[in-house]
Amino acid sequence: MSVDERVDLAEQLRAAGYRVTGPRRAVWEALCVADGHVTVEELSARVADIGGDADQASIYRTLAVFEELGLARQSRLHETGAASWEVAHPDEHFHLVCASCGEVDHHAGPLVTRIREHLEGDHGFEVFDIELVVTGWCARCRPGGRAG
């Protein structure tokens, strides 16, 4: 996965008139290697881990470019505080955040698409983006639930 996306990156950047730079490669690799969501601070540490170099300000700027190109996606999974970033997946999905263990589950399914169809059909609302965050207890943490 990360190799394909790394190849894509240079093409996508050039196609949009952006330059291919060390920090942009490093941020992209760190984002691809990360399993799921990362904050800018985490991303910064991961960039360092893989031997890359990118100032935090550059990470913010880089993520803004990635978002514009549709390569990365920002979420606000935590009530307050830092934004979370992930590689943009083609499938529409939403996030289940467990209030107990903190795990963020990606829930793919027809629901988000159905929301989009519903709005575009009945309401003439042209959807750019759907942000759906569900907070609760996952099956493992739920008291009396199907404990693991």
Partner DNA sequence: CTAAATGCAAACTCTTTGCAGATCC
Partner DNA sequence: GGATCTGCAAAGAGTTTGCATTTAG
Give me the residues that bind DNA (CB under 7 A), please: 14, 18-24, 39-41, 53-58, 60-62, 64, 80-83
Instruction: Using CB under 8 A, count the residues that bind a copy of itself.
Output: 34
Buried b / exposed e over 12-40, threshold 16 CB at 10 Å, is: bbeeeebeeeebbbbbbbbbbeeeebbeb
State the binding string over 17-56 for a copy of itself (x if CB under 8 A, else -). Answer: ----------------------------------------
Closest CA to 100 of 138, 54, 147, 46: 138
Q: What one-letter code names the amino acid at 85?
A: W
- Between 53 and 131, CB nearer to DNA: 53
Give CA–CA dist 95/86, Å, rounded: 12
Nearest approach, Cβ of 76 to a copy of itself (angstroms)?
5
Count Cβ atoms below 10 Å from residue 42 Cβ, excluding itself: 15
Judged by the rule CB under 8 A, the positions of this chain that interact with a copy of itself are 74, 76, 79-80, 83, 96, 99, 107, 109, 111, 114-115, 118-119, 123-139, 142, 145-146
